[in-house]
Structure 1
Amino acid sequence: MDVLDAAAVRAWAVAARRALELARDRIDAVNVFPVADRDTGTNVLLTVTGGADALAAAPDAAGADEAARVLARGAMLAARGNSGVIVSQYLAGFARALVPAAGPADVARALVAAARAARESTGDPQEGTVLTLADAVGQGARVAVDAGAGLDAMLRQASADAHGSLAAISAAHPLLQAAHVVDAGACALLVVLDSLTAAVEGAEGDLDLDWLPAAGPRPAAAPDEGGAYEVMLLVSASGGEDLADALLAAMRRVGDSVAVVGTEAIWHVHVHTDDPEAAIEAAALGRREQVVVRLVDAPHLPGTWPVDPPERGSRWGVVACTPSAPLARWYAGAGAVALVACPEVPVRAGHVLRAVTDTGAASVAVLPGEVVSADQLGTLLDDEHAGPVVEVLGAADELAVAVAALALAGSEASAVRTRAAVEALSRLRVAEGADASAPAVVALIDVVRDVAPDAEAATVLHRDPLGAGVSAEVAAAAELRGLEVAFVGPTGRGPAVVVGLD
């Protein structure tokens, strides 16, 4: 093939998705940077899957540039993790530099532009990683074009050079060198680029992935030093202004592993932080949506999903929907994926499905709270998505979401715990007040206990930080009444205090 056209880009998307499905476990196995959370292969697969799905659903494009833009935008919207964000921006840079029918020199320029775009998307570019490998691919492509190579030969040569330099590139990074592994992000990008070569050559069958390390035990790595929570969200600009630099600067102030990618006035923001609320607030430079918060070391996708539809598994995931950014940390700490509603954009079924996938579980309990409408819930349950089995629990307000999250708390949520959460919600009795002092809270507990004498647990949802000694005094009073008490807050909104007994 002498030129890269729209049909070749479509073939590339299909081939890359299939290759990443096969390569995911091996790439995950060597993931130690920027955080050893064993999810780089999974994140890039989900990212590229989003792009491939968007391209498959779009009308036939007139040229390679148009098809690549659709692929890149779908990947950006679906991007997972630092690695997925970087790969999506690589695809966006590649697309922006393409022409409708791209010859060898055009594609080489696009590969150079892609490497530059990926580097610019990160808050702290690190050498010895996928960014260095992307530079090497672009340089190799230019050398091959200058030597007169056609499109097929140029891509083969650039890929071969990158494979040959992968070990040396990774050894230049201290963490990767100490762990004796190659960079997982670089491996994922090589799989994507090998798929481009295969598509241009019209190759059939699966890629040769024998060069990848075998999946096995997690390699040794230095202790993680980044933030405990991963925050990802979309930010769009109402006036079309470029928010990339401002978002990068804002995220650098609140965390690390920062990446910001965007196309057509919408940006995907990624950061690891110990203060999710600060990250969410710092992103309020435009309209915020699809705000997802979870623990960095939370479980990721099981088995072969999304290669095959998962069976109903024993471990359940939890999605807690909340309008309270301050509570995102609490829900994530309880083992849930927190989906935070911002005032600019209503929560839609697609946002919930994104959070559902991010639980990494084959079965997921969704706690809709006050932020997911009945119409969107109907769409969620009716949607024939290939993925986790979704069960929506009757948690219609913040207190109910908190009670259910407590019942499901931990990394071993199961069908048994899910039933326990449903039963807890059915027993829940509630009272609210305007005074969050200890005597007032204890009085509310007694009011509710009159109608729920058999209750065993109390949940205290508070809007503002509790005064000194309040928690201890309330807990002691609750213990005398045979109740275990959990404090949830501050929520930053709603009544001063809401007490629930079950």
Structure 2
Amino acid sequence: MPQIDSTVVRTWCSLALEALGREREEIDAINVYPVADGDTGTNLYLTVESAHQAVEAVFAAITAPDFGDAVRAMAHGALIGARGNSGTILAQLLRGMAEVLAEGHDGDHLARALRRAATSARQAVAHPVEGTILSVASAAAASAAPDGADVVRVARAAYAGARTALEATPTQLAVLERAGVVDAGGRGLVTVLGALVEAVSGEAPARPVRGPRAAVAAPVEPCADGGPAFEVIYLLEADDAAVARLRGRLDTLGDSLVVVGGDGLWNVHVHVDDPGAAVEAGVEAGRPYRIRITHFGMDAAPEERTGRAVVAVLPGEGLAGLCAEAGATTVLARPGEPPASGELVEAIRRAHAREVVLLPNDAALRHTAAAAAEQARAEGIRVALIPTRAAVQGIAALAVHEPDRRFDEDVVAMTAAAGTTRYGELAVAERQSFTSAGVCQAGDVLGLIDGDVAVIGHDVAATAETVLDRMLSAGGELVTLVIADDAPESLADRLETHVRETHLAVDTHTYHGGPQAPLLLIGVE
């Protein structure tokens, strides 16, 4: 009897991301509720993209990961990357499914998972409304095949029920009926369930029927109903009791309140007129971070953009602050949480520039940054992607940035500066493993040069000196050191002295990376 295993979860995420990528614009176009801001398809895509990245990370770390690890990674990835009202609800649906599927992955468990998902999603929404993604999720759960059915039959029955419910959404919600469309969030959920059917059966189901109700709505002005002007989203570390109080507080501030998650980590979404009060409420409840505030309808049109900007991804708050002072729009990359392409697109938009230079500063972000650049170009923004592989290369590029010269000349100069900067890094091994420099043990200090382990040591400062000597053996004029807050206090002074006494005529610049930066970053120009 067919079952859902870790490979099926991986395939499901991949197919759902691909399908939402194809249908994103169509779903955006029918987005009229709760706010006609035309981004539901994009938000669902970004949410699934985050889930997909989390699952891929598990497979990259473990050749054949346990099913429970894969399904939990999917749910966690969706939680931390959830965007918008529908994306946040989808994250809770996936979390509800994961809670049951982690216990078993046959047809009975899939049917139970769909029911848990629908229930938990409704509980996460402050004021559930029929004719939305919640109705489609409930119908999918109710239609799931009876006990004893295999996963293919359950998935197909849930998909059929969801399609039927989607076509009925305009009869449940007047704003949909007036616009002549089905619910955008529900439409996206049908797409995700269709990907599940294909993942378990190998056959793609028929797409939802197009008729008058599925037609694209005429453009609707954002906030035409006089609703709140801002969307506020943030991740929150807090206990259950604090979150319960937070729900009550946010419910008095605005609407479209959705709080999803659990086990100390939550994703909070609300529409308000006072975004500062919404963030302050989060501070009172716990530790909010990855805060995103969007003013509905306030993105600059291409013709309203002027000048040139640099968008840079940085691995620590100290570096982000440094680059922001230099005029860059920054995106913070937290450990284990690389930014998705949607975050980079948002940063490009936030720069409000006609021309943008994008610095990913991480080799692993190459494809993500390329996707973001393509999306921004489709919106009329001229974007140049410089494939910087480390933050020190980004700093070198930013140092020669001159917005007053021609765009192509600026990009060439920045690319050259990044390309002539070798980069190194110090890290502490978490487990025994094989490296290009030999076998390391947990707790060893690893010295990396241009991404490869070159030195295995036991002392941070001594290992750093060895890495510096190797990097400077081919020459160099400037050394850049970025030191994390948890590095030894004397490290900066010792390395500056070492360079001054051992490598004549080489200048050294030292910066503080902040509390979450890598232990030590080294750049040699």
Tell me the CA shift for residue 209 of structure 1: 3.5
**Cα distance in 1 between the residues matched to 2:290 and 2:227:** 23
Q: Which residue is 1:246 aligned to?
A: 245
Contact 1:31 1:184 survives alignment (8 Å): yes
Tell me the CA shift for residue 25 of structure 1: 0.9
Flag the structure with more relative contact order, 1 or 2, with Cα contacts below 8 A and sequence separation at least 6: 1
Match of 1:71 among 74, 83, 101: 74
* Residues 316/132 of structure 1: CA separation in 2 closer, same or farther (3 Å cut): farther
Q: Which residue is 2:268 aligned to?
A: 269
Match of 1:80 among 80, 83, 91: 83
**Cα distance in 2 between the residues matched to 1:133 and 1:300:** 34
**Cα distance in 2 between the residues matched to 1:113 and 1:225:** 35
Q: Which residue is 1:233 aligned to?
A: 234
Q: Which residue is 1:145 aligned to?
A: 146
Q: Which residue is 2:124 aligned to?
A: 121
After superposition, the C-alpha distances for 1:129-168 in whole angstroms (9 at most, x for unaligned) are 1111111111111xx224x532212211221122123222
**Cα distance in 2 between the residues matched to 1:230 and 1:390:** 29
Tell me the CA shift for residue 208 of structure 1: 4.4
**Cα distance in 2 between the residues matched to 1:364 and 1:222:** 22
* Residues 218/155 of structure 1: CA separation in 2 closer, same or farther (3 Å cut): same
Q: Which residue is 1:35 aligned to?
A: 35
* Equivalent position SS for 1:126: coil
Aligned residue type for 1:280: V
Q: Over the residues paired in the alignment, what is the CA RMSD in angstroms? A: 4.0
* Equivalent position SS for 1:291: strand
**Cα distance in 1 between the residues matched to 2:18 and 2:348:** 20
1:92-491 correspondence to structure 2 within 5 Å: 92-99=95-102, 101-141=104-144, 144-146=145-147, 148-203=148-203, 208-209=206-207, 211=209, 213=214, 215=216, 217-218=218-219, 223-237=224-238, 241=240, 243-284=242-283, 285-299=285-299, 355-359=343-347, 361=349, 379=361, 383-384=365-366, 385-386=369-370, 387-388=372-373, 389=383
Tell me the CA shift for residue 65 of structure 1: 3.4
Q: Which residue is 2:500 aligned to?
A: none
**Cα distance in 2 between the residues matched to 1:34 and 1:55:** 30
Contact 1:232 1:270 survives alignment (8 Å): yes
Contact 2:135 2:165 survives alignment (8 Å): no
**Cα distance in 2 between the residues matched to 1:356 and 1:170:** 35
Aligned residue type for 2:155: L
Contact 2:236 2:267 survives alignment (8 Å): yes
* Equivalent position SS for 2:37: coil
After superposition, the C-alpha distances for 1:299-318 in whole angstroms (9 at most, x for unaligned) are 4999xxxxxxxxxx999899
Stretch moving more, 131-140 or 251-260: 251-260
**Cα distance in 2 between the residues matched to 1:80 and 1:156:** 27
Stretch moving more, 15-24 or 248-257: 248-257
Contact 1:365 1:391 survives alignment (8 Å): no
Tell me the CA shift for residue 211 of structure 1: 2.9
Q: Which residue is 1:18 aligned to?
A: 18
* Equivalent position SS for 1:75: helix
**Cα distance in 1 between the residues matched to 2:5 and 2:308:** 44
Aligned residue type for 2:90: V
**Cα distance in 2 between the residues matched to 1:47 and 1:194:** 17
TM-score normalised to the size of structure 2?
Answer: 0.58
Contact 2:229 2:271 survives alignment (8 Å): yes
* Residues 241/319 of structure 1: CA separation in 2 closer, same or farther (3 Å cut): farther
**Cα distance in 2 between the residues matched to 1:391 and 1:268:** 31
**Cα distance in 2 between the residues matched to 1:320 and 1:246:** 37
* Residues 234/99 of structure 1: CA separation in 2 closer, same or farther (3 Å cut): closer
Tell me the CA shift for residue 391 of structure 1: 9.3
Contact 2:51 2:73 survives alignment (8 Å): yes
Report whether the alignment pairs 1:89 with 2:111. no
Q: Which residue is 1:331 aligned to?
A: none
Contact 1:242 1:265 survives alignment (8 Å): no
Identical aligned residues as a percent: 35
Aligned residue type for 1:271: V
Aligned residue type for 2:136: L
Tell me the CA shift for residue 218 of structure 1: 2.8
Contact 1:6 1:67 survives alignment (8 Å): yes
**Cα distance in 2 between the residues matched to 1:202 and 1:268:** 33
